Amino acid sequence: MEIVTEMDPSVGIDNLVKPTIDMARLVVTPIRDGPEFEWIIHKRYKHFHDLHEALVHYVERATGSDLSQRGANNDDSSSLNKKQDEQPCFPTRNDRLSFLNQFTIEERCKTLQNYLTKILKHPKFREHMATREFLDVSSISFVQGLGISLNEGAIAKHSISDIRGCSIFLRVPFICDKLRCHHALRWFVLKDSYLVYMNSDSALIGFPLLIDCAFSFEQGYRKTTTNNGIKIKNSQRSMFIKFEKEDDRNTWFDRLTDVKSRSLFAERNLFQSYALRRQQQYAHWFINGQSYMETVAKSILAAREDIFIAGWFISPELMLIRPCDDDSMRLVNLLNKRAEEGIRVYVLLFNDPPLVDLNSDHTESKLMAQSPTKRNIKVIRHPNHTFLLGIESSWLFSHHEKIVVIDQRIAFIGGIDLCWGRSWWKT
Q: For 126-150, how does the pLDDT look when each residue is reduced to its tens digit (9 = 90+)?
A: 888 888 888 888 888 888 778 888 9
Q: Is-contact 316 366, C-beta < 8 A? A: yes
400-417 pLDDT, tens digit each: 788 999 998 999 988 788
Q: How confident is the model at residue 12 (pLDDT cuts 50, 70, 90)?
A: very low
For residues 349-356, give the mean pLDDT: 79
**How many CA atoms lie less than 13 Å away from 119 in the CB half-sphere?**
28
Helix, coil or strand: residue 160: coil
End-to-end CA distance of the chain: 59
* Least trusted range by pLDDT, from 72-81, 107-116, 208-217, 387-396: 72-81
Question: Does the pTM exceed 0.75?
Answer: no
Q: Write down the CATH number for the domain with range 147-162+181-272.
A: 2.30.29.30
What is the pLDDT confidence band of residue 422, given thresholds at 50, 70 and 90? low
What pLDDT is stored for residue 23 in this prediction? 40
pLDDT attached to residue 133: 87
> CATH topology of 147-162+181-272 equal to that of 289-385+394-414?
no
Lowest-confidence region among 75-89, 161-175, 343-357, 367-381: 161-175
pLDDT for the residue 217: 93
Which strands form 209-210's sheet, in the order they lie side by side? 209-210, 194-198, 184-190, 151-159, 238-242, 229-233, 216-219
Query: Has residue 256 got a pLDDT over 90?
Result: yes
> 306-311 and 402-406: which strand pairing?
antiparallel
Q: Which CATH number fits domain 289-385+394-414: 3.90.1150.10, 3.30.870.10, 2.40.50.140, 1.10.10.10?
A: 3.30.870.10
pLDDT band at 3 (very low <50, low <70, confident <90, very high): low
- Cα–Cα distance list, 373 to 203, 252, 306, 376 (Å): 22, 41, 17, 8
What does the pLDDT read at residue 121? Answer: 85
CATH code for the part of the protein at 9-58+100-145: 3.30.1520.10
pLDDT tens digits along 25-79? 555 555 554 556 777 787 888 888 888 899 888 888 877 765 555 554 445 445 5
| Model confidence band, residue 178 (pLDDT cutoffs 50, 70, 90) | very low
Indicate the domain borders of the chain. 9-58+100-145, 147-162+181-272, 289-385+394-414
Could you report the per-residue pLDDT of 147-158, keeping only the tens digit for each?
888 999 999 987
117-121, 301-305, 313-317, range with the lowest pLDDT: 117-121
For residue 144, give the 3-state DSSP assignment. coil
Q: What is the mean pLDDT of residues 14-24?
A: 36
Share of the chain above pLDDT 90, in %: 22
Contact 135, 41 (CB under 8 A): yes
d(CA 379, CA 368): 7
